[in-house]
Amino acid sequence: MPAAEIRPVVAGCHPDPSVCRVGEDHYLVTSSFTYFPGLPVHRSRDLVRWERVGHVLADPDHVDLDGLDVSDGVWAPTIRHHDGLFYVVYTVAEDRRGRATFVTTAADPAGPWSPPVRLDAEGIDPSLFFDVDGRAWFTATRDALAADATGPAEIYLREFDHRSLSLFGPTRVIWSGAVAGTWVEAPHLYRRGDVYHLLAAEGGTERNHAVTAATASAPTGPYTTDPRSPLLTHRHLGAGASVQNVGHADLVDTPTGDTWALVLGVRPVDGAHNLGREVFLVPVSWEPEGPVFAPGVGALTGPDGHAAGADDAPADWVGLRGPVRHRWRGRDLSLAPAPDGLASRGRPAFLGRRQDRHRFAFAATVPAPGSPEKHAALVAFQNQDRFVSQAVVRSADDVVVETVLWDGGARTVLAERPGADRQRLEIRSDGRSYAFGAVVRGDFEAHATVDARLLSTEDAGGFVGVLLGVSHQGPATTPWVTVEDVTYTGA
């Protein structure tokens, strides 16, 4: 099946989807790592067309991301609704391990959200479950401590007081997964009749990613592994599958009683992906044994052909590790300078949007700086250790357009061409390479081309996709810069 026929419902880097429904509206949150604002919230009536309505972490005082690697930061949130309030739990990770877990609430998922409360919890991937008897339960995954653990991780459970926003009672290890020797994560609890269903993800978030399950007659267990596990995976489809790495499921019932799952997946090109992990939609039916994902098919098929998908959603511009001083006037973007560069773990003056399609053109008219110590640039940014920038740079004698690859702190000039005081710069991709160049008399002239794999997760590491954006590095006392007519178009 061609890749275009299996489309995400939220495209670009939006991993670890979690969903709940209130009335006719469904609400989705996804991981945001060190992007700021954090934890985007989307709303949909049909689970196919999603509109971003806000961010859980929109207040810089509510999250500390300073000094973190781009793929650390805010991981794997869960959103739930109970008694008029939305609850979101999430972890802040450092060095690829959970540093702290928080809960926050809001009456309106668009915000404002309450100041996060730190929970007495360890590990990653927290989740909440509100039972029909009024009790609430918290689950998460951590390094295995149990002597009889079958893998390196275990899922544990504690009771949650939704009024005081605290955990209490004993810690119970309830499951260590269905696949011996693999890390179990992303636990979510559901009740169907008198049976409690525990969904999880196993096999890592790469090619072996899968949805597994266990059941019990009480939230506290004991849990019996669902022998049908894995319930959903694409690892058996081979390297040529158009969507891979499928897993990390969360279930939601529609007002008509249908059940759907939102899962993450990637769309690789030639074995590597640059868009990050995206959100896909899967139908679910219920049988006596439990949920059946994509019944009769057993793999993703994508929305119906009339679905609008993510291409109709507004651009979601973000900074790194904190707010960016900027303003939009139409398609013109003004940025205040910052001394931190993109290769640092600081707060650079950078505003970017998620690359959400393989073929695109991202362009802006960039002015030449007034002095050599500052510059504005268009950037294809994977992480602080791997990105390509294209800047209009002023030297003592002239103005040039300089294309630079940053790799592990090393700076390699890929191209240097004569520039102008106002230069239309453009980044293009066909899914297999990125071309960096300028628009001259209406025609694109490529200055440098790099293999797309260089900016892929497979080559650069980490958990994120490419951001396309504008940076402005320079002393904080220098003037703002305005890049004009910022456009992002594609097939």
Active-site positions?
16, 185
For residue 148, give both structure tokens.
Answer: 């009889």
Annotate 100-129 with b (16+ C-beta within 10 A) or e (fewer). ebbbbbbeebbbebbebeebebbbbbbbbb
Q: Are strands 467-473 and 210-216 parallel, antiparallel or unpaired?
A: unpaired
Q: Report the alpha-carbon distance of residue 11 to residue 7 in Å, rounded.
A: 8
Whose structure tokens read 């919890």? 121
Beta bridge partners of 433: 451
User: Order of strands across the sheet with 332-335?
Assistant: 326-329, 332-335, 481-490, 359-367, 422-430, 433-440, 443-451
Point out which residues pair with 140 in neighbouring strands: 156
d(CA 373, CA 338) in angstroms, rounded, equals 12
C-beta separation of 109 from 79 below 8 A: yes
| Residues near 477 by beta carbon (within 8 Å), at least 6 away in sequence | none
- Closest-CA residue to 245 (of 52, 456, 79, 95): 456
What phi-psi label fits residue 308: left (phi over 0), alpha (psi between -120 and 50 degrees) or beta? alpha
Amino acid at 12: G
CA distance 236 to 288: 25
Instruction: Please state, in angstroms and rounded to a whole number, the distance separating the CA atoms of residues 383 and 400.
Output: 25
Beta-bridge mates of residue 89: 78, 103
Distances 337 to 324, 331, 475 between C-alpha atoms, Å: 9, 19, 7
Q: What are the φ and ψ backbone dihedral angles of 251, each rounded to 5 degrees?
A: -100, 150
Show the tokens assigned to 291: 């949920």
CA dist., res. 263 & res. 484, Å (int): 37
Residue 16: how many other CB atoms lie within 10 Å? 28
**Terminus-to-terminus CA distance in the chain, angstroms?**
18
Name the maximum alpha-carbon separation found in the chain.
78
